[in-house]
Chain A
Amino acid sequence: MGRIHVHADGEVHEHDEGSDHLHGADGGRDDVGDHSGYAATGTVRVEVLERILSENDRVAAANRRDFASAGVISVNLMSSPGAGKTTLLKRTLAQIGGTRRVGILEGDIATSLDADELAGSGAAAVSLVNTSAGFGGECHLDAVMVRSGLGRLPLPELDLLIIENVGNLVCPAEFDVGEHAKAMVYAITEGEEKPLKYPVMFRAVDAVAVNKMDLLPHLDFDLGRFLANLRAVNPRAAVIQVSARTGAGIGEWCSWLLSQAPLPLPAPPAASPLSPPRPAPLTGLLRVGVLVLVLQVDLVRMRVSVAISVVAVLVSVLDMLVSVLGVRVGVDRVLVAMLVCVCARVGVLVSHQDSP
Chain B
Amino acid sequence: MHELAVCEAIAGTVRDRARGRNPASVRVRIGYLRQVVPDSLVFSWEMVTAGTDLAGCGLVVDYIPAVVACAACGARSTLEAPVLMCASCDSVDVELVSGNEFDLASFDVTVA
Q: A-side interface residues toward B, CB under 8 Å?
A: 1-2, 38, 41-56, 135-136, 138-140, 142, 168, 170-171, 173-175, 196, 198-200, 203, 231-233, 235
Q: Is the interface of B mostly helix, strand, loop or mixed?
A: mixed
B68 surroundings in chain A (CB, below 8 A): none
Smallest Cβ distance from A6 to chain B, in angstroms?
11
Residue in A44, A45, A199 whose CB lies within 8 Å of B33: A199
Nearest A-chain residue to B36, judged by Cβ: A174
Considering the complex, give the chain B residue whose CB is closest to the CB of A200: B35
- Flag if A233 contacts B103 (CB, 8 Å): no
CA distance A52 to B36 in the complex (A): 12
Residue B102 is within 8 A (CB to CB) of chain A in the complex: yes
Q: Residues of B with Cβ closer than 8 Å to A?
A: 1-2, 4-6, 8-10, 12-14, 17-20, 23-24, 28, 33-35, 81-85, 92, 102-112
The 8 Å CB contact of A51, one of B18, B102, B106, is B102
* A140–B106 touching, CB < 8 Å: no
Q: Of B1, B4, B13, B34, which is within 8 A of A50 by CB?
A: B13
Q: Which residues of A contact B103 (CB under 8 A)?
A: 49-52
Contact call A42/B111, Cβ cutoff below 8 A = yes
Query: A52 with B13: in contact, given A140-B5, A174-B2, A200-B34 (CB under 8 Å)?
Result: yes
Give bound CA distance, A147 to B35, whole Å.
25
Contact of B83 among A138, A170, A198, A232 (CB under 8 A): A232
Residues in A with CB closer than 8 Å to B19 are 1-2
Q: Are B110 and A43 in contact (CB under 8 A)?
A: yes
A49 in contact with B1 (CB, 8 Å)? no
B82–A52 touching, CB < 8 Å: no
A197 closest partner in B (C-beta): B82
> Which A residues touch B9, using CB under 8 A?
52-53, 55-56
Asked if B104 contacts A231 (CB within 8 A), the reply is no
> Nearest CB to that of A54 among chain B residues?
B13
A contact residues around B20 at 8 Å (CB): 1
A47 vs B112: C-alpha distance when bound (angstroms) = 19
